[in-house]
Amino acid sequence: MSKPSTEDRFWSKVLVVESCWEWIGYRNPNGYGTFRGLLPSGYAYELGRGPIPDGMTIDHLCRNRGCVNPDHLEAVPLAENMSRGQCVSSVNLRKTHCNNGHEFTPENTYTSKYGRCCKACVLARQRKRYHANLDRSRERCRLRYQAKRLHSKEGV
Ligand SMILES: [Zn+2]
Ligand SMILES: [Zn+2]
């Protein structure tokens, strides 16, 4: 008899209720489920859809927080990554495009406390930040490498 895999153990804690797949495994005192330190919805998303993009969080299209059906999950930009820059206040409902000219289609619009946000702009900003971090860590590596070479030369 083989030991059940992590994936099997995950799905054994899921109850399929019509179209929503309910997480019935461990929940922390705040009412959020966890599986191996992750949100079950995040784990299910990775199993069913692939890795969660950097800076994204999992949103439930079905509004059922306990649901882990990958078809009901969508990766959306983290709410704290939103800023007024990408958003048009709800007062300005007549605006059909963001400040950078992207159209506010249902697919490209994310509603936050700032109003309607343009997903394309938020993603572009996140990508830029990601690459800036990458450049910075590469630079750090390079400096460390040079310092090491310098030391070894002195040591000879
Ligand atoms: Zn659902
Ligand atoms: Zn935009």
Q: According to the model, what pLDDT value does residue 123 have?
A: 77
Distance (Å) from CA 35 to ligand 1 centroid: 18
Residue 139 CA from chain centroid, whole number: 26
- 156 Cβ neighbours under 8 A, 6+ residues apart: none
Grouping H, G, I as helix, E, B as strand and the rest as coil, residue 90 is: helix
Q: Which residues surround ligand 2, an ion (CB under 5 A)?
A: 98, 100, 102, 118, 120-121
Reported pTM = 0.51
Q: Where are the domains of the chain?
A: 1-77, 80-156
Distance (Å) from CA 52 to ligand 1 centroid: 18
Q: According to the model, what pLDDT value does residue 13 have?
A: 94
Distance (Å) from CA 46 to ligand 1 centroid: 16
Q: According to the model, what pLDDT value does residue 83 have?
A: 57
Query: Which two three-digit tokens encode residue 17?
Result: 């209720």
Distance (Å) from CA 22 to ligand 1 centroid: 8
Query: Which two three-digit tokens encode residue 94?
Result: 């007549």
Per-run averaged pLDDT (10 residues), the chain, 156 residues: 85 90 90 87 92 83 88 78 60 79 86 78 75 71 72 61
Distance (Å) from CA 68 to ligand 1 centroid: 7
Cβ 49 vs Cβ 73: under 8 Å: yes
Distance (Å) from CA 69 to ligand 2 centroid: 30
Distance (Å) from CA 56 to ligand 1 centroid: 19
Q: How many CA atoms lie within 13 A of 7 on its CB side?
A: 5
